[in-house]
Amino acid sequence: MSHSTTKPLLFALAGAAVAGLLAGRGVPRIAPRPAKKQRRHSRRPVCRVVVVGAGFGGLAVASRLVGRPGIHLTVIDAHNHHLFQPLLYQVATAALSPGDIASPVRSILPESPSLHVMMARVTGVDTGAQHVLCGGQAVPYDQLIIATGSQPSYFGHADWAELAPSLKTLDDALGLRQQILHVFEQASAAIPADRGRLLTFVLIGGGPTGVEMAGSIAELARDVLARDFNLPGAQARIMLVEAGPRVLSAFTPDLSDYAAAALRTMGVEIRTGTSVTGIEPGTVHLGDQAVAAATVIWTAGTEATPVAKWLGVAPAHGGRVAVGPDLRIPGHPEVAVIGDAALALGSDGKPLPGLAPVAKQQGSFVARTILRRLHGRRAPGAFMYRDYGALATIGRNKAVAEFGAVHVTGFPAWITWAVAHIFFLIGFRNRVMVSAQWAFAYLTHERGNRLLIGREARS
Ligand SMILES: Cc1cc2nc3c(=O)[nH]c(=O)nc-3n(C[C@H](O)[C@H](O)[C@H](O)COP(=O)(O)OP(=O)(O)OC[C@H]3O[C@@H](n4cnc5c(N)ncnc54)[C@H](O)[C@@H]3O)c2cc1C
C-alpha cells in the first residue's frame, strides 16, 4: 500500500470508529426506573417474565423490559456473556481477542431490584405448570420468551464434529485459533513433504462464515507465515468447499461472483458443486478425491436448539419452532419463541432468515407486546421484519453489500461493513478496542492475538 493511500484510509477508519462510537448501540440500554415510580405501581400484580438466552433476541427483549414497573425479569443463559457472533471468525484468526466481542450479561443490563440474571443451562419447559427447568431448578413464569438460537448441524454425521469443528462459541473460536497457529508452528519445523498436509485448510460451507474464514486464514497465512516463520504464505492451501453452485448463495449471483473472484485473488481454492463424503483424522473426502488436511472447519449447516422438544411441539424445518404472526406458539399465548430458534414467516410467506437483525427486531416486538398488554392496551398485531440489507466481508478492502437493488462491492462495501459492525457491537469499550485494533491491523498487517496457550492441536 502506498503512503498516499494510507492517510485517507486511516481517516476513513477513524471516522468509521468515531461514527460507531457516537452512534449508540444495537441494543439500547434502558435506565432502571426510579424507585418512586416502582412504588406507585407496587399494587399491580407483578408479571414474571423469563427470557431464556441472552443473545441478540433475548437481549433485545430484556433491555426493553428491565426495570419496568410491574415486571420481574429473569434472564437465563448458559454462558455469562453476550457474544457478537458476526466477529467470531476474527477471534479464530487472531485478529481480535474474546473480550473484544463479548460482554458479561450482568454488565450490559442495568442494575435493577426486579432483574435476576442466572447462568444456567435450560433443559426443558413445563408448559402446564409454567416453569422453566434448569440445573434442578424450576423457574416460574407468566410470560416466557425463548431465544436460544441455533447450533451446528452435521447433517446426520455427528462423528464429524470432533474432526471438523464449527464456529459458534468463544470456546470454538479459541480452539480454531489454537489449531491454526499450531499447524503454522508444526509446519515451520516439518520436513517439506509434511508441510502440504499441515498447511492445508479445508472449510466446508460457502456461506458468509466460510467466506470470511477462508479470506481471513489466507491473509493470516500471507502476513504471518512469511514474516514470523520465514515460509512463503503461498505454501498454505486454503480450500472452500460448497455443495451448491455458488458461494454466498443468500446474495445475488453478481455478488457471489465478486466474492469468488476476490477469494481466488487471495489464493483460496473454491470447490462449488462439491459435497463432503467423509472426514477422517487428517483427511477429508470430496467425492472420490481424498484431500490431506490437518485442519478441517465446518461452516455448513445449523439447526435450532432443541426448543421444540422442550415445548412438546413438532419441529419445523431446521428443528425450529413454528410460531404465529405474533411470534407466540399455538395454544400457549404466554410463550414466544424468537430468533434462530423460531420459524416465523416474512411478508412474502417465506421463512425469515437466521440473522441478528431478525432476532433483534423480534425481541423488540415481543417486549412491546408484553408492555402494551400490561398497560391494558391493544397488542401490536403481526411482526413485520424490516430488511435493511445484507453485508459480508471477504478480506481487506473486499466485501459485498446488498441493499435491495443497490449492490456495492470493494472498499465502499468493506468500510460500510466495518462501520456497521462497530455500530452494532455492544459496549463502549468493545467499540473502542475493535476500532483501534482494526486501524492498527490495517496499517501494519499485524495480528496481535497469536498466543498459543493450553490445548494441543490436531496434526
Ligand atoms: C460465526 C457466525 C457468524 C455470523 N455472522 C452474522 C452476520 O454477519 N450477520 C448476521 O445478521 N448474523 C450473523 N450470524 C447469525 C446471528 O449470529 C444469529 O442469527 C443470531 O445470533 C440469532 O440470535 P438469537 O438471539 O436467536 O440467538 P443467539 O444470539 O445465538 O443467542 C442464543 C443464546 O442462548 C444461549 N443458550 C443456548 N442454549 C441455551 C440453553 N439450553 N440454556 C440457556 N441458554 C442457552 C446461548 O448461550 C446464547 O447466549 C452469525 C452466526 C455465526 C455463528
Residue 87 CA: nearest ligand 1 atom is 3
**Ligand 1 centroid distance, CA of 23 (Å):** 23
Q: Quick check: 208 and 253 in contact, CB under 8 A?
A: no
Distance spanning both ends of the chain, measured CA to CA: 35
Residue 393, domain member (yes or no): no
At 186 the three-state DSSP class reads helix
Asked whether residue 267 falls in the same domain as residue 185, the answer is yes
Residue nearest to atom 8 of ligand 1 (CA): 86
Cα–Cα distance between 328 and 95 in angstroms, integer? 40
Asked whether residue 215 falls in the same domain as residue 315, the answer is no
Nearest to 219, CA basis, from 425, 407, 398, 16: 398
Contacts of residue 354, defined as CB under 8 A and 6 or more positions apart, other chains included, come to 150, 302, 339, 340
Q: Quick check: 145 and 50 in contact, CB under 8 A?
A: yes
Asked whether residue 194 falls in the same domain as residue 135, the answer is no
- Domain ends where: 348, 374, 400? 374
Strands 398-403 and 332-337: unpaired
Biggest CA–CA distance in the chain, Å, is 77
Residue 58 CA: nearest ligand 1 atom is 25
In tens, the pLDDT along 432-453 reads 999 999 998 888 888 878 888 8
Question: What's the mean pLDDT when you consider all of the chain?
Answer: 89
Contacts of residue 366, defined as CB under 8 A and 6 or more positions apart, other chains included, come to 61, 145, 327, 336, 338
The tally of domains found in the chain comes to 2
**Ligand 1 centroid distance, CA of 288 (Å):** 35
Asked whether residue 140 falls in the same domain as residue 267, the answer is no
pLDDT at 459: 64
- Domain ends where: 250, 266, 300? 300
- Domain ends where: 317, 346, 374? 374
Q: Quick check: 373 and 346 in contact, CB under 8 A?
A: no
Asked whether residue 37 falls in the same domain as residue 145, the answer is yes
Nearest to 61, CA basis, from 95, 83, 28, 91: 28
> Can you give the pTM of this predicted structure?
0.90
Torsion over CA: 244, 250, 256, 259 (sign): negative
pLDDT at 41: 47
Residue nearest to atom 5 of ligand 1 (CA): 86
Asked whether residue 194 falls in the same domain as residue 71, the answer is no
Q: Which of 212, 219, 242, 402 is catalytic?
A: 212
Asked whether residue 240 falls in the same domain as residue 177, the answer is yes
Residue 410, domain member (yes or no): no
Asked whether residue 231 falls in the same domain as residue 314, the answer is no
In tens, the pLDDT along 35-66 reads 444 444 455 679 999 999 999 999 999 999 99
What domain range is 183 assigned to?
A: 158-300
- Ligand 1 pocket: which of 50, 148, 177, 366 to mutate (most atoms <8 Å of CB)? 148
Residue 138, domain member (yes or no): yes
pLDDT at 454: 72
pLDDT at 44: 63
Asked whether residue 293 falls in the same domain as residue 339, the answer is no
Q: Quick check: 91 and 169 in contact, CB under 8 A?
A: no
At 264 the three-state DSSP class reads helix
Asked whether residue 44 falls in the same domain as residue 165, the answer is no
pLDDT at 455: 64
Task: Identify the helix (H) or strand (E) that includes residue 18.
Answer: helix 3-23
- Based on the residue annotation, tell me whether 212 is a catalytic residue of this protein: yes
Asked whether residue 68 falls in the same domain as residue 194, the answer is no
Task: Please report, as a single letter, which amino acid is at residue 414.
Answer: W
Residue 411, domain member (yes or no): no
pLDDT at 78: 97
Protein residues whose CB sits closer than 6 Å to any atom of ligand 1: 52-58, 76-79, 85-86, 88-89, 121-122, 147-149, 167-168, 208-209, 305, 339-341, 354-357, 359
Cα–Cα distance between 182 and 330 in angstroms, integer? 50
pLDDT at 307: 97
Residue 426, domain member (yes or no): no
**Ligand 1 centroid distance, CA of 264 (Å):** 30
Residue 171, domain member (yes or no): yes
Residue 137, domain member (yes or no): yes
Residue 11, domain member (yes or no): no
Nearest to 296, CA basis, from 189, 200, 155, 170: 200
Residues paired with residue 278 on neighbouring β-strands, in sequence order: 285
Contacts of residue 244, defined as CB under 8 A and 6 or more positions apart, other chains included, come to 206, 272, 273
**Ligand 1 centroid distance, CA of 121 (Å):** 15
Task: Please report, as a single letter, which amino acid is at residue 269.
Answer: E
**Ligand 1 centroid distance, CA of 20 (Å):** 22
Alpha-carbon distances of 193 from 131, 182, 184, 221, 269, rounded to whole Å: 59, 18, 15, 18, 21
Asked whether residue 287 falls in the same domain as residue 188, the answer is yes
Q: Which residues of the chain have pLDDT under 70?
A: 1-44, 455-459
Taking the C-alpha atoms of 136, 142, 143 and 149 in order, what is their torsion angle to the nearest 10 degrees? Answer: 10
Q: Quick check: 305 and 298 in contact, CB under 8 A?
A: no
At 241, which CATH number? 3.50.50.60
